[in-house]
Structure 1
Amino acid sequence: MKRLCMAFIALVGSASHWVFADDNASPIYGVTIPDGYRQWELVAPAQEADPLNELRVVLGNSAALKAYREGKLPFPDGTVLAKLAWKHEQSPDFKTASIPGAATTVQFMVKDSKKYAATGGWGFGRFINGKPVDQAQHETCFACHQALVKDRDYVFTKLAP
């Protein structure tokens, strides 16, 4: 009986070190959708041409907006940027206006220079209908940012005037 109890204690003790996958976290980075992100401030809007044909907005948490306004690069740890995207369609009320149609993705960049040291200090998350996309899509995130905007701390979006 004593051996059985000791084995149980050892098993329970080691269970505290087990890692359980979070179905809501992005592969590779473990980024999840932050609560309240839709109340963050606008960084900038954009219109993506073919083949995506999307309307996009980038939102930032308070750390992001403070860094943008002060012109500080690299962005500080704790910065989070959110990109919301929709297919665009013609407004039924105003023939020259595009309006958001179906939502396509919500994407996040999370700055943690220690946790994400291998990817310039950024973790990435891309979600469709609230669920993270597959690992293959996440493997492309940093490579694209690294190739095109390394000099801006890997961030494409500039603060709108």
Structure 2
Amino acid sequence: MTRIGILALGMAALLLGGSVVFAGPARKAQASPIYGVTLPKGYRDWKLISVAQENGRNDDIRAILGNAIAVKAFRDGKRPFPDGAVIVRLAWRYQASPRNDAVFPAPQSFVAGAPTNVQVSVKDAKRYAATGGWGYGQFEGGRPNPDPAVVQSCFACHQKLERLEKGKDFVFTDYAE
């Protein structure tokens, strides 16, 4: 591809609200297996969509963030999500806060502890047609989990949700007002 073609492709992606991902060797090392999803630049500054707590095996607290395309779709109740929507889920072990509890009349405060992982869902109906239009990645310590079974399990769970509740576009989270 010529330089002009690459530049035009990159500009088109940016105008559509996406991020440009060139699959050079360094970038591939940062991408999840199967889907090639990477950690989006600046995702920690994205808007909060919701929070969640998972008990049982996961035993964590989570913040769900979205890029501008995802946030608009959540706020507008738009399903399916448009291409370019990116949802990021950050998770931490939750732990008691003795410092905070010292102020309250009884132990009651829990805070984020050690981070567990970051999961990324990218909407691209053509690229990820076989998985409902979504590509997935899981990252620990800023690096992609290299086990293909980990990201394959993402779609399996999201697919169960869609079977249970049609029209959610494979997304667990609802926008928290």
TM-score, reference length from structure 1: 0.85
Partner in structure 2 of residue 12 of structure 1? none
| SS of residue matched to 2:53 | strand
Could you report, residue by residue, the CA deviation over 1:108-161 in whole angstroms, capped at 9, with x for unpaired residues?
000000000000000001001111111111111111101113520000000012
Note if 1:50 corresponds to 2:62. Answer: no
Partner in structure 2 of residue 158 of structure 1? 174
| SS of residue matched to 1:22 | helix
Aligned AA (1:159)? Y
Note if 1:116 corresponds to 2:122. Answer: no
Note if 1:145 corresponds to 2:161. Answer: no
Counterparts in 2 of 1:25-64, with a 5 A limit? 25-64=31-70
CA distance in 1, matches of 2:43, 2:153: 24
Structure 1: gaps (5+ residues): 1-17
Partner in structure 1 of residue 109 of structure 2? 97
Q: Give the structure with higher Rg (CA).
A: 1
Aligned AA (1:142)? F
TM-score, reference length from structure 2: 0.78
Q: Which runs of 4+ in 1 moved over 3 A?
A: 18-21
CA distance in 2, matches of 1:140, 1:50: 17
Of the three residues 111, 118, 141, the one matched with 1:129 is 141
> Offset at 1:85?
0.1
CA distance in 2, matches of 1:54, 1:115: 31
Aligned AA (1:65)? V
| SS of residue matched to 1:155 | coil
| SS of residue matched to 2:149 | helix
Structure 2: gaps (5+ residues): 1-22, 102-106
* Aligned alpha-carbon RMSD (Å): 1.5
> Offset at 1:19?
7.8
Aligned AA (2:79)? L
| SS of residue matched to 1:139 | helix
Partner in structure 2 of residue 87 of structure 1? 93
The number of equivalent residue pairs is 144
